[in-house]
Amino acid sequence: MTIQEAQEAIIKETAGFGSRLEMYDYLVAWGEELPGLEDSQKNDRNALPGCQSRVWITAKLENGRILFAADSDSVILRGMLALLVRVLQNRTPEEAASADLYFLRQLGLEQHLSPARAAGLRTIVRHVRQLVEHLVDTSLTK
C-alpha cells in the first residue's frame, strides 16, 4: 500500500462521519490500538516541546525502512499519532520525507494544525518530518 493509498483508506473510513464526536471516537479507538512506548522511553529526549499533553515519538531505521513508535497522555493525540504511523510506517526515509499528508486536512483536523494550538498536531507533524529528515541524512551517509 502506497502512502497515498493508506491516506485514502483513512479518508474512506471517516467519510460518513456526521459529527466531530464520531471523529473523536474513531481517534480514541485508534489511540487505544497504538502500542505506545516503554516508560523509560518517555523521556525528555523523545518528548515534543510545547504540547499541552505530553507526546513522545521515536523513529529508527531497520533495513532501510522507518519504524516509528509514539505515545501521549492524550488518547485523542495517540489516535492522531496512530494514523500518522499507519501512513508512514515501514516507508523509506525518502518516501516519508516527500509525503504530502493531505489526509489530515481531509479529516477536518486542520484546527489541530494551527500554530496556536497548544497541543498541536502541527508540532507532531513537524517533529515527525524532522525525524524523517534526520533518517534521510543517516541513510545517505551510510
Which residues are annotated as catalytic? 51
- Rounded CA separation 127/47 (Å): 10
Q: Which residues in the 66-85 window bind another protein by CB under 8 A?
A: 73-77
Across 13-25, b (16+ Cβ under 10 Å) vs e yields: ebeeeeeeeebee
- Rounded CA separation 118/20 (Å): 19
Question: Does the footprint of another protein cover residue 20 (CB under 8 A)?
Answer: yes
| CA–CA distances in Å: residue 61 to residues 123, 138, 139 | 22, 9, 8
Question: Does the footprint of another protein cover residue 52 (CB under 8 A)?
Answer: yes
CB of 46: closest distance to another protein in angstroms? Answer: 17
Question: Does the footprint of another protein cover residue 116 (CB under 8 A)?
Answer: no
Binding mask 86-115 for another protein (x = CB under 8 A): ------------------------------
Strand partners, 69: 58
Question: Does the footprint of another protein cover residue 134 (CB under 8 A)?
Answer: no
CB of 52: closest distance to another protein in angstroms? Answer: 5
Q: Under DSSP, is residue 55 helix (H, G, I), strand (E, B) or coil?
A: strand
Q: Which residues bind another protein (CB under 8 A)?
A: 19-21, 23-25, 28, 52-54, 73-77, 118-119
